């Protein structure tokens, strides 16, 4: 107590007075403002924590589906290329199976060459097994949904080895110990049944060393699944565009091996079968690789059958942006020349290591075909080689591959070579450079 009789305020009283005093912020008291700030900081911290945790979980899930290779893990693809898909199913009434087959260029009663003679014992149209029949028949083995659930451990995310616009592919281990790839088709507006029917009819009995074999299927209720050979070294897109380090394991010789093998598989589809099969979705992610870098063409969900009396079939434009031929994109008229164009783009991708469409590049380099043509016309062919290739190819071999690319992407579909001719061009040591150069120009 002072001489004047005034009471000296204690520190606690002063602090309490300050906390209860009003501030300029909406006339709120100081302790209310402090509480709001603390709540905001806590909310931001919690949000950051959840984001970091979600990112780590996502990375752990991706790491689980990597397949080991002698040179390291298969690289995850860093870019996606959009698929061109029909916006909705055809509203017109479905024709009878025979009429639909004729309309799509399918010859229902003709046998595929080099196929086993046994007739199917599965109703492909309705996805049902005929009563009293065996589980094993001409077009593969019938698997129950329970068998495939057991093989994939209940379709566990840890067994996912690929995802696409039409389904998810799982690694599965059957009771006999064999490893398979199970493609679970997404039943989006009937798309699962459509792709199921197409793949079974197109390649159900086809066997070729450069085509992925279809060994069985499952159709229960709305579920449609296809069981394939398991190819354990990823796909070409992962090895071309994934993180492989400063030097790609895909040497020039390996790349040409992949290109030639792919061409042989397509040549068999176009020229070794009756009716011929037009794949319609040739791209790097559909080229699977084994441990010896042998390619296997996969995913026949968009395939069309073309009979001998038809030079083309008119259909909806579907495929992957950057690979679709110009005439097919503009008219919907499809034949094997469309696959040849797509193969030409794929070969460019193999040579350059560039994606068909890459918006991260400068304006003049976004479209691979346009950039490639410009580099060749400027006589800068040696500069387009993938910088991750450590050992340069022989000039003659590089020139041969570049000329094949130009022939495949000719705007006149009638001037494009057949796939059998492309195999010969890529393998031949006496490639006629002069005449081919004139033709390309």
CA distances from 168 to 156, 160, 227 (A): 11, 7, 12
Asked if 281 is an active-site residue, the reply is yes
What tokens were used for 171? 């690694």
Catalytic residue, chosen from 3, 281, 358, 386, is 281
Half-sphere exposure of 423 (CA within 13 A, CB side): 14
User: In the block, which residue shows the tokens 């968009």?
Assistant: 302
Contact at 8 Å (CB) between 84 and 320? yes
- Helix (H) or strand (E) holding 319, with range, is strand 319-320
Strand partners, 182: 170, 227
For 399-402, the CB contacts below 8 A with 24+ separation are: 399/433, 400/425, 400/426, 400/428, 400/431, 400/433, 401/256, 401/259, 401/347, 401/351, 401/426, 402/351, 402/376
- Listed in sequence order, the residues at least 6 apart from 169 whose beta carbon sits closer than 8 Å to its beta carbon are 160, 161, 162, 163, 181, 182, 183, 184
Q: Provide the 10 A C-beta neighbour count for residue 171.
A: 21
Write out the catalytic residue numbers: 281
């Amino acid at each position: 107590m002072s001489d004047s009789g005034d009471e000296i305020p204690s520190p606690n009283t002063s602090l309490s007075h300050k906390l209860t005093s009003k501030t300029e912020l909406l006339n709120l008291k100081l302790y209310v403002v402090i509480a709001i700030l603390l709540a905001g900081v806590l909310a931001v911290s919690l949000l950051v924590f959840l984001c970091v945790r979600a990112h780590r979980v996502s990375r752990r899930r991706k790491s689980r589906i990597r397949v080991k290779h002698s040179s390291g893990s298969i690289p995850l693809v860093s870019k996606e290329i959009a698929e061109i898909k029909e916006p909705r199913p055809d509203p017109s009434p479905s024709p009878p199976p025979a009429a639909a087959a004729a309309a799509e260029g399918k010859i229902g009663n003709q046998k595929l060459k080099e196929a086993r003679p046994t007739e199917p014992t599965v109703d492909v149209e309705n996805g049902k097994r005929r009563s009293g029949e065996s589980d094993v028949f001409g077009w593969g083995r019938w698997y129950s949904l329970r068998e495939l659930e057991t093989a994939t451990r209940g379709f566990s995310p840890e067994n996912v080895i690929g995802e696409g616009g039409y389904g998810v592919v799982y690694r599965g281990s059957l009771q006999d110990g064999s490893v398979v790839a199970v493609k679970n088709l997404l039943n989006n507006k009937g798309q699962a049944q459509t792709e199921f029917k197409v793949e079974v009819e197109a390649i159900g009995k086809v066997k070729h060393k450069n085509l992925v074999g279809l060994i069985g299927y499952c159709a229960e209720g709305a579920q449609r699944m296809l069981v394939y050979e398991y190819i354990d070294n990823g796909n070409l897109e992962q090895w071309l565009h994934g993180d492989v380090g400063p030097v790609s394991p895909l040497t020039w010789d390996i790349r040409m091996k992949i290109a030639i093998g792919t061409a042989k598989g397509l040549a068999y589809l176009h020229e070794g079968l009756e009716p011929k099969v037009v794949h319609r979705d040739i791209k790097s992610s559909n080229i699977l690789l084994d441990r010896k870098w042998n390619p296997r063409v996969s995913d026949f969900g968009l395939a069309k059958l073309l009979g001998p009396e038809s030079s083309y079939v008119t259909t909806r434009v579907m495929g992957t942006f950057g690979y679709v031929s110009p005439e097919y994109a503009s008219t919907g008229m499809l034949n094997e020349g469309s696959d040849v164009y797509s193969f030409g783009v794929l070969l460019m991708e193999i040579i350059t290591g560039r994606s068909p469409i890459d918006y991260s590049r400068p304006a003049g380099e976004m479209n691979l075909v346009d950039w490639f043509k410009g580099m060749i016309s400027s006589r800068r062919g040696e500069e387009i080689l993938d910088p991750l290739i450590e050992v340069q190819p022989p000039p003659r071999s590089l020139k041969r591959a570049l000329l094949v690319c130009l022939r495949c992407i000719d705007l006149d579909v009638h001037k494009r070579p057949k796939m059998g001719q492309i195999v010969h061009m890529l393998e031949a040591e006496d490639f006629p450079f002069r005449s081919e150069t004139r033709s390309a120009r």
